[in-house]
Amino acid sequence: MKVKDILKQKGPEVFTIGEEKTLADAVKILAANNIGVLLVLSSEAKIVGIISERDIIRTLASDLANSLSKKVKDVMTQQVIVVEPEDDLEYVEKVMTQNRCRHIPVIHNKVLVGLISIGDIVKSMLKETETENKYLKDYISGVVG
């Protein structure tokens, strides 16, 4: 199975925030949309980072009184790992596991086409396994489908 198969199911919607916005702004967007990450854009609309709930919590833990007024660009992860729609899910799962990231943007021809999570991958692989399991049970029991 490939990344593009997940994007067909979940769609291309990706939430973003400007690098000059505050963590308070980021928290509001995350909470309002029940999501875990925002892609961070420069004033030229280029991806310059990604900010997660985890990034925000770590910042709060180190300086609770001043954290929410900090700028996103000062807290975000700057090294954004990306994948392509044609990448296999097994490969993407390894990349995410090795880099300890739970969300990864999908880029095609230098254009953002979506974002997938480790949860999306697990759900997709589970569905595929359940389908294979059903076919094997039908085969073993002699049911012709």
CB atoms within 10 A of CB 120: 20
**Alpha helix stretches (DSSP H) within the chain:** 3-10, 23-33, 53-62, 89-99, 118-141
Quote the pLDDT of residue 144.
62
Quote the pLDDT of residue 145.
54
Say whether 7 sits in a helix, a strand or coil.
helix
Q: Kindly give the confidence (pLDDT) of every residue in the chain, 145 residues in length, as a single tens digit, with 9 standing for 90 and above.
A: 999 999 999 989 999 999 999 999 999 999 999 999 999 999 998 999 999 999 999 999 999 999 999 999 999 999 999 999 999 999 999 999 999 999 999 999 999 999 999 999 999 888 777 777 777 777 788 776 5
Give the residue from 79, 76, 72, 68 showing the smallest Cα distance to 19. 72
- Angle at CA of residue 140, ends 134 and 141, nearest 5°: 90
State the Cα–Cα distance between residues 18 and 38, nearest whole angstrom. Answer: 10
Looking at domain 3-141, which of 3.40.50.720, 2.60.40.420, 3.10.580.10, 1.10.730.10 is its CATH number?
3.10.580.10
Quote the pLDDT of residue 132.
74
State the Cα–Cα distance between residues 47 and 82, nearest whole angstrom. Answer: 11
Whole-structure pTM value: 0.82
State the Cα–Cα distance between residues 144 and 84, nearest whole angstrom. Answer: 37
Domain ranges in the chain are 3-141
Mark 47-86 as b/e (b = at least 16 C-beta within 10 Å).
Answer: bbbbbbbebbeebbeeeeeebbebebbebbbeebeebebe
Quote the pLDDT of residue 141.
81
Quote the pLDDT of residue 92.
96
Residue pair 25/72 in contact (Cβ under 8 Å)? The answer is yes
CA dihedral sign of residues 76, 123, 83, 15: negative
